[in-house]
Amino acid sequence: MARRVAAVITAITGDRVVIGEAELNHAKEEHFQVLPTDMLLELIERVLKDPTKIFEEKKLHQYHIFYRLDNRRYLVVIVKKAPTGNYFSTMYSTGTSIRNSHNSLTEIKL
pLDDT, tens only, 45-84:
999 999 999 999 988 789 999 999 999 999 999 999 999 9
Kindly tell me if the per-residue pLDDT of 98 is higher than 80: yes
Rg (C-alpha) for the chain, rounded Å, is 13
Contact 36, 29 (CB under 8 A): no
Average pLDDT, the chain: 94
Kindly tell me if the per-residue pLDDT of 26 is higher than 70: yes
CA dist 105 and 54 (Å) reads: 10
Kindly tell me if the per-residue pLDDT of 86 is higher than 70: yes
Strand partners, 63: 57, 80
